[in-house]
Amino acid sequence: MSTSSDKQPAAAGDGVDPAPKPSRRAFSPAYKLAMVAAYESAPNGEKGALLRREGLYSSHIIEWTRARDAGLLGKPGRDIESSTPAGTGRPKRKSSEQLELEKLRRQNEKLQADLKKTRMALDIMGKAHALLEELSESADDQIPPKKS
């Protein structure tokens, strides 16, 4: 006869997982907006207490604030199409056209900034050239002093 004391704990090689893998937490947009609002309205000494009570990190608040400011969280109580699929926590992959478009936009902004700098440098060089010409002409007009 086998008793409960005869049973041995499952070994690692038995294929039985002694502790199930924890699941990733998912927060609703309404909860995110409520937590950002509560965090922003809390006095400085109570912000940490709010995070500890809710089991959150300051990085959550930072990320959710940025999402709210970018318009990705929408208004509480409405169905919101966010940038992440429900429950996955991962952003949607961008298509190759979107990636190329972003790359070209960044390149265009950099080139426009470089062009602006070049134009400003040319403008300064032109003014410096005109000033040097004017000084040269006024120096030619003056009669050098005679040495005795």
Question: Is pLDDT larger for residue 83 or for residue 61?
Answer: 61
| Section 102-116 average pLDDT | 95
Q: Which residue has the higher pLDDT, 1 or 21?
A: 21
18 or 118, greater pLDDT: 118
Question: Quick check: 45 pLDDT over 80?
Answer: yes
- Residue 39's φ and ψ, nearest 5 degrees, are -65, -45
Please provide the average confidence, as pLDDT, over all residues in the chain: 80
pLDDT (0 to 100) of residue 76? 45
The more confident residue out of 1 and 128 is 128
Q: In whole angstroms, give the CA distance from residue 73 to residue 98.
A: 22
pLDDT of 23:
82
Please compute Rg for the chain using Cα positions.
34
Closest to 58 (Cα-Cα) out of 42, 76, 74, 82: 42
Using CA atoms, how far apart are residues 39 and 29, in angstroms rounded to an integer?
15
Biggest distance spanned by C-alpha atoms of the chain: 134
55 has a pLDDT exceeding 70: yes
Question: Which has more pLDDT, 6 or 117?
Answer: 117
Task: Give the integer Cα–Cα distance in Å for 87 and 27.
Answer: 8
Considering the entire predicted model, what is its pTM? 0.39
| Position with higher pLDDT, 15 vs 129 | 129
